[in-house]
Structure formats: C-alpha cells, structure tokens
Structure 1
C-alpha cells in the first residue's frame, strides 16, 4: 500500500511538472515574438539615428528616449494622466459596445433594413475619426463629451459589423434547429444568434478597440481640457516645446498599451475558438 501511494504521488508530481512545462512553453511562445519585434524596432531605430538622416534634436536615439521614459514612469503625474486616458478609453469603448451591439442586432432583420443599415455602418466605419471632431466640437464644445462622441462613432461601426458578420456565417442547420425549438424575438437573439456570432463579435470588439484608441488619441491632441496631462496632452505639449525626446517616450507608452490590449483580445479570441473546436491546440 505504501508503495502504491508513493507511485501515485510520483505520478502526480510528474503530471504537475508536465503541465507547468507546457504552460511555460505556451507563455514563451507568445512572448518571444513580441520581444523579437521590440528588439528589431529598437535596432532599426538606432541605425536610422546613426545614419544621420535627421539631427539628434529632431530624431533622438533609444539612448536618450528610454532613460526619459524611465524617468516619466517614476512621476505620479504621469500615472494620473495615464489613468485619465484609460478612463476615457474604457468609458468610450463600453458605450460603443452597447451602441454597436444594438445597432448590429437591429440591422439583421428585415432584409431591406439590413441592406440600408449595413451600408450606413460600412460608410461610418470608413469615415476617419479626425473628420468627426469639427462636428463634435460644434455640438459639445471643448469637453469630455466631444471626445466620447468621437470614440463611440469611431468604434461602434466595427463592433456592429463584427456582429453582423458572425450572424451571416451562422450555420443554416443551427437556424433550423432554433426555429424547431420555437425560439422567437429576444430568445432568438439571446440563445441562438448572439452565441453563434460570438467569435466574429470578439474580432469586431478587437477592431473596435483599435478605432476607439485611435480616436481617443486624436481627441486628446485636439481637445485640451483645462490642465489635465493625459497622454495626448503630454504629446501635444512636447510638440509645442520641440521636446522630441518626451514626444517619443510618450509615443512608446501609447504603442505599448495598444500591444497589451491587442494581446488580451487575441488570447480571448483564441480561448473562445479553441473551446468551440474551431482551432487545434
């Protein structure tokens, strides 16, 4: 009996070690491409600076920018500005998710409405976010509402299109099964269409976040409210002061946030598709 317990304990330890090794390999396989891309970007950046293409005060190298970035990260004011930017991004994206989901669900039926609203959604998606700001400022002046307005208009069409794409690719057999079960109205969407469209919807959310982030950065550059030092405001103040080191340091932060959020959406999409058997591990 003692021998059997020892063997089971060894098997459990071996299984745990194998699981940890697998997790470590998957983690490394997802991290090393990002690290390689960062190293490549820094290398190319340094080579361009060494080529003398632009003066150092216009295009400083990593040796100047990275220490400034480290210094900024130690400032409480930087984190307060980052918090303001992220709060605007999350609120705007949440509103865009609600608007895009409702718009996409409404546009699925009837067919005439789908053709009309679908074309409108596509047209809105192709509209550059910066083009909405004159109207936003006219409607809401220089305010938080102007920024929120442009974020929603930038992100909601992509989210709606993601939902519409998922609904369009719902298997006909699944639709017939839903009708046979008597699903109608809200139940039709809640129990059948939305779950079936979820993979494409997550892709739409990912694209919508990208548009929301771009719209927010454009908004913070154009709509400066009071003395709040958000990321966009820091970028604009650095431009006005011809401080290219601070400008590039802030741009690195903006790009890093974009990469991190993109990886989170990619992980969620991978987990969802794997759970549904759409990809192999």
Structure 2
C-alpha cells in the first residue's frame, strides 16, 4: 500500500528567469527546482546579485518566469497568490501611522472584519512584545522594533507563506540575533512556511530547517544542507557548538566552489 505524501506548499520546477537590458537578455535564474513544505523554514544563501531575490519575487507573482513553473498550494502562480506575505530588507512602515495602525494595514488587506481587529491586534502586539508601544510612531522606534512592526503587519495578513528578503540585513549583530530569536519564537507558534534570503551564513544555520546554496548569476542550486540542530535555537549560544561550526564551514566551502 502506497501512503500519499502531502504536496509541498511551494514548488519550483525547472524555473528560469531573465531580464531585458540595453545590452540584451540577462539570464538571472537558470533552471531552478526547489520545494518548501508546510511549516518548513528554508534559507537561501549565495553571492550578491545571484538571483535569490528574483526567485522570491517570482514566487510572489511580481516577476514572470521565462520557463518552468511555480505553484503555491498546488495552484500555478500567474500573479500575486493569496496569503503570501513579503518582508523586505528595508521596512515599509507608514511614518504617519502608529504601530497599531501599521499592523491594521495587514488586517485590512486580509479582509478581516473590523469587529475582529481589536483582539487580533492585541494578540499580535503581545506576540511581538510591542503592547506598550502600540501608539508610538515609527520615528520613535529602534530599528529592531520597526522590523517587529513590519513582521506584525505581515502576520496580520495571515499568510500561509512568508517570503523574507534579507529582512535583518541592515541590523547590527546583537539586534539581528534578537530578531532571529523573535522570528523563530513566532514561527514555532504560528508554523508558517518561510523562504528566507540572507548573506549571513551563521544566521542561515541558526534559523533554517534547510539551507540552499546558490551559484553566482544565473542562479543555480549548488548545495543543500539539512540543519539537524535542536530547537529552540539561540544564535549566541549556538556559536560555541561544534555541529553549528561544521554546518557553517560546509556552507562556506560550498560558496567557495561557486567562485
């Protein structure tokens, strides 16, 4: 008897993407196939400009594929799919709105009835540890807190898939470690599927179930590492672990092979 397996939440099958430039066609992604399961945390690493962000944008329906196919929950992506959240490196908070009001944007986009907003906002503020800052404006917040608000707005939208393009890349190490720990805490509570782009190898190993290593442009997957470290994880604590060091070294070596 064959046991049916659950289909991946995200599936890329032999996807290629290119851009037209004044000098002609520029291949950016070259026949990439990958899958992300439900509640799985997958991290993409690779050289700058290798096409990792292009892959996220293609999954979000913001870039058309040249060949191959992308499906989310079994549906072919031919425009922005429902229930996909996208978080960029630079927060996109509305400066004239408070923390609460910025998070409410996600509820409005999700079509949540205003009668349900009060409790949902209260729950998210508590989850993000922002309750006492609900009426603060973005200019009054630290960088880490602004990123938490951006994350709250995405969670308010209740996406099944969270696409995160170097969301903590501009933060200092200490704030990045705190944000990584917060993201893992929220992910463990919410169990969304996450596809996360970073240049920080230690961050990748601390967060991921799997790390996919990409070549220079045009992007191809050159290595895959299953990260078998116990959860919950703390980057600062992990740095002294021999297993953690072995994973980071292996990924660095795979990146070296892409030169």
TM-score (norm 1): 0.24
Q: Which structure is larger by alpha-carbon Rg, 1 or 2?
A: 1
Choose between structure 1 and 2: higher strand proportion: 2
The higher relative CO (CA closer than 8 Å, separation ≥ 6) is in: 2
TM-score (norm 2): 0.25
